[in-house]
């Protein structure tokens, strides 16, 4: 069973507040139905939406235009792209890299290109999985030969008599040299 997180701040969002009851139901449905995956891009027919929600086609078409114009949800040939699905989905993990890549590989290229263009035109980014070695915890800091994470880079700090030196393991170089006496 899939799980989706809905942030309660949705109810205070100016865009959401101004929707009709039917539009709110459609919006929440598109964010939470069983077809949505990790990317927020999935295929669904209007017939399925009508059947699941009991809302007529005119109301669905009207809602789609509102969502697209606001940059919230895009539609193309039976495909849906919920722009902030990954941002608000609540699941960020290096272990999801392969499942996200697999999901993206199943999207037809013309649909993916359309959604990329849509995202670009609405200043939204399509979030692709980050590399496996990207640290998640940006607050770690332990000194004296322990791991310290600074700006997503693994670095080791060695205490020297004159001060500290920071060695970047990936680039194999000293970043901060001890001050000369």
pLDDT tens column, 38-82: 888 999 999 999 999 999 999 999 999 999 999 999 999 999 999
What residue spans define the domains of the chain?
8-121, 138-181
Rounded average pLDDT over 142-164: 48
What is the model's pLDDT at position 138? 47
**Cα distance between the two ends of the chain:** 63
Please, are residues 36 and 4 in contact by the beta-carbon 8 Å criterion? yes
The pLDDT mean for the chain works out to 76
Look at residue 104 and tell me whether its pLDDT is greater than 80: yes
Q: What would the CATH number be for the domain defined by 8-121? A: 1.10.10.10
Percent of the chain beyond pLDDT 90?
39
Q: Is the pLDDT of residue 94 over 80?
A: no
Tokens 């989905």 found at? 89
What is the model's pLDDT at position 59?
A: 97
């Amino acid at each position: 069973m899939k799980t989706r997180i809905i942030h309660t701040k949705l109810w205070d969002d100016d865009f959401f507040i101004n929707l009709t009851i039917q539009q709110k139901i459609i919006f929440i449905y598109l964010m939470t139905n069983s077809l949505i995956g990790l990317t927020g891009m999935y295929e669904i027919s209007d017939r399925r939406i009508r059947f699941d929600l009991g809302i007529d086609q005119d109301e669905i078409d009207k809602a789609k235009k509102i969502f697209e114009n606001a940059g919230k949800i895009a539609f193309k040939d039976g495909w849906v792209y919920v722009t902030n699905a990954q941002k608000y989905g609540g699941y960020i993990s290096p272990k999801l890299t392969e499942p996200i890549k697999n999901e993206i590989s199943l999207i037809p290229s013309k649909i993916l290109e359309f959604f990329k263009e849509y995202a670009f035109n609405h200043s939204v980014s399509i979030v692709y999985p980050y590399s496996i070695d990207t640290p998640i915890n940006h607050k770690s800091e332990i000194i004296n030969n322990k791991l310290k994470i600074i700006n997503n880079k693994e670095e080791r700090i060695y205490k020297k008599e004159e001060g500290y030196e920071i060695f970047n393991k990936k680039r194999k170089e000293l970043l901060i040299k001890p001050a000369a006496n």
